[in-house]
Structure 1
């Protein structure tokens, strides 16, 4: 094996001409290829960093901490959840894509980073398929249309009437691509002509909705549920094609507008960087699948407003490829031009 690896290195250009990331990845792969089987069997031997693309308090952060605590027990090693919000998840995704593929840096990602961003931005520093190793699919998040509890609006028709009286002065907030695409699609169908206000994260956007500094937003039910219960937010509709079992009294957007075809929900899954050694990725994938398939974890996900969708790495990988096309079409239908 040593001779084979050294043979592969001979045709390469001198190391001084290679980028730092390339050198780090080569070093990690070399170490794993040259290591005895016992070293791989001993993985993990140091803390695992679970990166999330959004801020503390967001739905993905809540899920990451739930899974991270259980993964720590399963792997017998510390799991550190790190929030790296910014650029609609680009900061976190780029960070993980460039990390050494040794199993110590993984990412809890969403359709924002891996399905929508390729169509919302003219260029990305990462490829959502080629630069990652799928490990497990976790859950879906239905989104709800919300307004401030202070706003004199109790349903979608009332929001439309409110908007008609104030045409040109309404706006919508968003902290991720699902919120952006949902709100843009709704605005287009409803003819509100609301202005878009981007935020670094969902909690920041939600704060301005509660304070009546923005008119409406689409937010995952998990993040919004406590504020809806407290009356700070008022939920008007769900973004999915059918009513959600998590909020059965809320109409769908399609029902409320009388226009079929509105169907938007966020997916969540876990990836590592590309080119992870199979022994390492398989060990991680097996542990993660056991965690997200456990009855108590699924119950906790449901209680927080998620719909469990556990799937193994190979199935999840095919799902990600399909979803890239699906969300590309959704962005187009929403009339959003890439930045």
Structure 2
């Protein structure tokens, strides 16, 4: 009887704790530098989540480095009480292939709370490239095999991964030129020092609209509708079957976070994704807010598992590692 009373009291304590949640500020760890695309998504989401969680304070903690594993590891080791969360992007699907020594397990050391958005990518080229359409680009690539430089924002970056997938899809190897960020890579592309780059719309839309680069295609399954990009074909429509790359973002909690708190966070996330102000801010970034079943934790986890299965063999075949 005494044991039963103790167990009942413990269950009541956990339930009461979950009902009171949140009773203090929540920290969202962003495993990238402040000011970047993922940081902007996190800050926009924090504002909308705050309104859904009783006006609680939400702090953004930028813990950048090691292909996002530093910040992710910080959350994996945090107390599972719902007060330390992780907002990460496609790195959750690529770290298992990129990192030799993973400090945590993506699929088992986190509670999945739901997906946030998809950020499309674009294939672009230097302004004086003679090819002006994707069809002309394929001809030009065929005529210049072994001479083409493909820039990216660094080993393991979104642009690097997209470039790897593109080379794999067209069966042509290019000279990969990694930079320390998108800005220097874009500067050299505009200046003609590199030939091609594949990067997210948050970084390319302005350059495309200003006609500072040649734009050839988008990496989504369907054409985009934004003014600067709606004329671009998809790579799938150009013959690259199943070619789809988006820089998606998701929200996570440490493994063992109480189910009631997970449910409360998922409900708040779903409401935040319907917030007109948040949607407007994401559209300005070139991002598409998720409205499909991936907002559900189980579906989000299933999606990440598929991303790991997709990217790991491509990364390993390229011999790429981010120690």
TM-score range (shorter-chain normalised) is 0.7 to 0.9
Q: Is the 1:48–1:78 contact (alpha carbons within 8 Å) kept by the matching residues of 2?
A: yes
Whole-angstrom CA distance in 1 between matches of 2:240 and 2:290 = 28
Superposed displacement of residue 289, structure 1: 1.4
Question: 1:238 aligned to 2:218?
Answer: yes
Tell me the CA shift for residue 244 of structure 1: 2.9
With normalisation by structure 1, the TM-score equals 0.77
1:301 partnered with 2:282? yes
Unaligned residue ranges in structure 2 (runs of 5+): none
Q: Quick one: structure 1 residues 255 and 290, their matched pair in 2 at CA, closer, same or farther if it must change by over 3 Å? A: closer
For these two proteins, the number of residue pairs brought into alignment is 309
Q: Distance in 2 between matches of 1:89 and 1:160?
A: 37
| Residue 229 of structure 1 pairs with residue 189 of structure 2 | no
Segments of 5+ residues of structure 1 without an aligned counterpart are 8-31
Q: Deviations over 1:186-222 (max 9, x none)?
A: 2345566422233454455444434544432211112
User: In the alignment, which residue of structure 2 is the partner of 1:105?
Assistant: 84
Q: Distance in 2 between matches of 1:213 and 1:47?
A: 47
Higher RCO (CA 8 Å, separation ≥ 6 residues):
2
- Give the TM-score, by structure 2 length: 0.80
- In 2, distance between residues paired with 1:278 and 1:260? 39
In the alignment, what sits opposite 1:291?
Answer: 272
The separation in 1 between residues aligned to 2:34 and 2:132, in whole angstroms, is 29
Distance 1:172 1:73, change over 3 A: same
Distance 2:281 2:268 in 1: 18
Find the residue that maps to 1:123 and give its secondary structure.
Answer: coil
1:266 is aligned, of 247, 251, 254, to 247
Q: Is the 8 A contact 1:108 1:271 kept in 2?
A: yes
Tell me the equivalent position of 2:307.
323
> CA–CA distance in 2 between the matches of 1:183 and 1:36?
48
SS at match of 2:318: coil
Q: 2:95 aligns with which of 114, 117, 126?
A: 117
Aligned ranges 1:152-301 → 2 under 5 Å: 154-156=132-134, 157-158=136-137, 161=140, 164=143, 167-168=146-147, 170-175=149-154, 176-190=156-170, 193-203=173-183, 205-246=185-226, 247-256=229-238, 258-301=239-282
Deviation at 1:229, TM superposition (A): 2.5
The 8 Å contact of residues 85 and 200 in structure 1, kept in 2 or not, is answered as: no
For residues 97-150 of structure 1, give each alpha carbon's deviation from its aligned partner in whole angstroms, at most 9, with x where no partner exists.
Answer: 1222222211112222x2122123333111111111111211212110123446
Counterparts of 2:192 and 2:35, CA distance in 1: 20
Q: Residue 96 of structure 1 aligns to a residue in which SS?
A: helix
CA distance in 2, matches of 1:248, 1:90: 35
- 19, 30, 40: which is aligned to 1:52? 30
What do the CA deviations read for 1:228-259 (whole angstroms, capped 9, x no partner)?
32344442211234433343211223455x54
Match of 2:108 among 112, 127, 130: 130
Distance 2:42 2:189 in 1: 25
Corresponding residue for residue 80 of structure 1: 59
